[in-house]
Structure 1
Amino acid sequence: MHVLIIFRQEKVMNLLLNISLAFLFFMILITAISIYVGYQVMNPMRLAISQLPSEYHLEYEEITFYNNSDSVELKGWWIPSTRRDFITQKAVIFSHSYGDNRQSMPIETLKLAKRLSSEGFHVFMYDFRNSGESGGRFTTIGRKEKTDLLSAIHFVKHEKGIHEIGLIGWSMGASTSIIVGSESPNVRAVIADSPFADLETYTKESFTYWTGLPNQVSKYMVQVAENVFIDLNLSDVKPYIAARRYENKGLMLIHSTKDGAISYKQSELIYNNAPNAEIWITKKGGHIRNYNHQKDKYEERIIEFLNKYMYGDFMFTPISKMTWS
């Protein structure tokens, strides 16, 4: 009987040991996957620039400037206004989406730049860090990209002498533009196409969409990735909070109900937090493809919006406007 008891105790101990080892192995595996996924997210494949402004019959200047916070080398194009009947003091800065660059996006950014140039706007297109031809090792989905955009504004103001500045961005670039627009006194108007409202919440809610992994492990995996990659601080990127500071400048949100990557509800959350904003919900396209489906209307609406806020001292009247089309 005594031997039998010892034998049973050994079986129980072995079972507990095996369970502990299996759990340890599982945690090591999940941690390793978390680090791998975090590294992949911060290192999207770089897309090459395949077209130049000259192919759209635009004059342009190749620009190299540096991030004012960490000296990362950034590349861009300065496209002057083609209007010759007056000297313009207005510039619009383009900020591209995650994994793309100033030219390689699902829409023809150079076509849009040409239209803005013909309407009297200078256009500055640049690559975020770790994108296109810019330097930098990691993409941080808004945290450090914010300083890239602030540095672009500094370049436009101090090197080109332009003080009337508007921002337009898509996806990550849209969210970054909202945050920067709320902080920079030089920005008069922001157009945000398909932004996320809160990177931390959005990442956890869309975890399966982007990784294919079960949503139940998202919280742990995100925490591991943030601890390993200190530049990946999701809680720092909250455009819906930045939107609360838009009392005396313009904010225009554009989003499609067909967007499978970032729900248009994200733009609605930003809109509901902004004291002065308008939102255009479209029924065509997908993620950052609104321009492809209604180019003329898209151009006219953003030009009208920019002109409202970028003609010197404007008469400010708070607005709250939502349209669907």
Structure 2
Amino acid sequence: MAISVPTDVSTGSTAVRSAAPWVRWTAFGAGIGAAASTAVVAAASGLGIYFARQVVTPVRTRDENLEILAVTESEFGRQVILPANADTTVDGTYSLYFDDGAGHARIGAIRSYVPREGTVQRDVEEVYSGDLGKALRGWWSGSIYPTPAAVGMPQEDVEIPVENGTAPAWLVRTPGAETWAIMVHGRGARRTECLRAVRTAREAGLTSLLISYRNDGEAPYASDGRYGLGLTEWQDVEAAIRFALENGAKDVVLFGWSMGGAISLQTADRSPLRRYIRAMVLDGPVIDWVNVLSHHAKVNRIPAQAGRLGQWLISNAAGRALTGLAAPLDLKSMDWVTRAEEIRIPTLILHSKDDDFVPYGPSAELADKNPDVITFEPFTEAGHTKEYNVDPERWERVVLNWLGNALGRTRHPSEHRTGE
């Protein structure tokens, strides 16, 4: 998931660490008289409109904000030298995409990190595509693998009927599985984000369906070309559940990352097929959009009134002409801390306390309010949805143990159908 405003510093890390020059100029102008104050209000309004549009508008191209300084050979094999930042200096396994996404390398252990030099040297575990030696810039990602085959899993390419066409998906079958894992990626990501979980799902005895959904660059775009933050995308997850049921599944487990977590929660709340959802596994989920948007406004040094205006524009019909949304989005209805007792499907939340993109606080609070249904597993050090990248063994162990208990104690959906 990525929400951004223009900045005067490109760090390559997830969080924006500097306000735009014109934001600072606006703040300066606030103290120079009534005329300037009027200008500040106008500027804040413009910034609020821009912020609202950024939240709901899909990004068609990724910003190659990370310089690739050198590729070398050493006693450990091939290595890449990168600028040291909050992402590249964290242990774990990641991806480096380059050449507008056509190039993809899997990056592993840190071999050298000299803070005073501002660089970090890491292993290049594998280059899946492109010529890393010629690459100059790219972007960092937690999506490690390009396809299920790269994880060593059997892969089928399937198409799921959705609004405006069909959405491509990967099907990874587990022989004899009657429960399917429907995997839902986050905002600004693609189904490759979910590949980190397919081995775990297979070990748990689940067939995996890794889906695309509206506006993600693979599935058909929505008519308005705007994100619904979960309030529209859930229909594509419902289509995936229907596909699973028509192809041998008796029930499903929803896996969701970031906004994919918000989408999964909306599916469990709104879909007529929710009775087939036996459990949910949510990684770095958006539990409360107001909390997330307030956090991003603060991180990007957007004045409070501009941030509130952005939320109002998204939530109200009067803002449609400015946001491009076909219908306003009820942000309050997506506050699951307030609605905690309404969640009745067993849910595991894995969320890093060091997530600087989607704060973990609402995840922890949600579990505190509904401990009989929701299990919260906190991680540390990992950035947003990178818990697996930092500690894959723990991630897999926690998910496997929890699924074993959740699926073992949950009744089959056929036992709930009386009177439906």
1:1-325 aligned at under 5 Å gives the runs 23=38, 27-46=41-60, 51-67=146-162, 70-71=163-164, 73-81=166-174, 83=175, 87-103=176-192, 105=193, 109-136=194-221, 137-158=225-246, 160-183=247-270, 184-209=274-299, 211-226=300-315, 227-228=319-320, 229=323, 230=325, 231-233=327-329, 234-247=331-344, 249-274=345-370, 275-311=372-408, 314=411
Alpha carbons of structure 1 residues 111 and 176: separation in structure 2 relative to 1, 3 Å:
closer
Alpha carbons of structure 1 residues 57 and 132: separation in structure 2 relative to 1, 3 Å:
farther
Query: How much is the aligned-residue C-alpha RMSD, in angstroms?
Result: 2.8
Cα deviation, residue 242, structure 1: 4.9
Asked if the contact 1:74–1:134 (Cα under 8 Å) also holds between the matched residues in 2, the reply is: yes
What is the alpha-carbon distance in structure 2 between the residues aligned to residue 269 and residue 239 of structure 1? 10
Superposed CA deviations along residues 64-104 of structure 1, whole A, max 9, x for unmatched, are 2233xx446422111111x4xxx12011111111111110x
Cα deviation, residue 125, structure 1: 0.6
**Count of residues in correspondence between the two structures:** 284
Alpha carbons of structure 1 residues 111 and 265: separation in structure 2 relative to 1, 3 Å:
closer
Alpha carbons of structure 1 residues 220 and 313: separation in structure 2 relative to 1, 3 Å:
closer
Asked if the contact 1:79–1:122 (Cα under 8 Å) also holds between the matched residues in 2, the reply is: yes
Cα deviation, residue 122, structure 1: 0.4
Asked if the contact 2:231–2:266 (Cα under 8 Å) also holds between the matched residues in 1, the reply is: no
Identity of aligned residues (%): 19
Alpha carbons of structure 1 residues 177 and 22: separation in structure 2 relative to 1, 3 Å:
same
Paired residue secondary structure (1:221): helix
Query: Per residue, is there more helix in 1 or in 2?
Result: 1
What is residue 67 of structure 2 aligned with on the other side? none
Cα deviation, residue 140, structure 1: 2.2
Asked if the contact 2:258–2:285 (Cα under 8 Å) also holds between the matched residues in 1, the reply is: yes
Letter paired with 1:204:
S
Cα deviation, residue 55, structure 1: 2.3
Asked if the contact 1:308–1:314 (Cα under 8 Å) also holds between the matched residues in 2, the reply is: no
Cα deviation, residue 186, structure 1: 0.7
What is the alpha-carbon distance in structure 1 between the residues aligned to residue 343 and residue 37 of structure 2? 52
Structure 2: state its 5+ residue gaps: 1-32, 63-100, 105-145, 413-420
Structure 1: state its 5+ residue gaps: 1-17, 316-325
List structure 1 runs of 4+ shifted beyond 6 angstroms.
Answer: none
Alpha carbons of structure 1 residues 21 and 213: separation in structure 2 relative to 1, 3 Å:
closer
Cα deviation, residue 29, structure 1: 4.2
What is the alpha-carbon distance in structure 2 between the residues aligned to residue 241 and residue 147 of structure 1? 23
Cα deviation, residue 30, structure 1: 3.8
- State the TM-score, normalizing by the size of structure 1: 0.77
- State the TM-score, normalizing by the size of structure 2: 0.61
Which is higher, the Rg of structure 1 or of structure 2?
A: 1
Alpha carbons of structure 1 residues 21 and 286: separation in structure 2 relative to 1, 3 Å:
closer
Cα deviation, residue 283, structure 1: 2.2
After TM superposition, the structure 1 stretch with the greater mean CA deviation from structure 2, 113-122 or 283-292, is 113-122
Cα deviation, residue 182, structure 1: 4.2
Asked if the contact 2:258–2:385 (Cα under 8 Å) also holds between the matched residues in 1, the reply is: yes
Asked if the contact 2:255–2:280 (Cα under 8 Å) also holds between the matched residues in 1, the reply is: yes
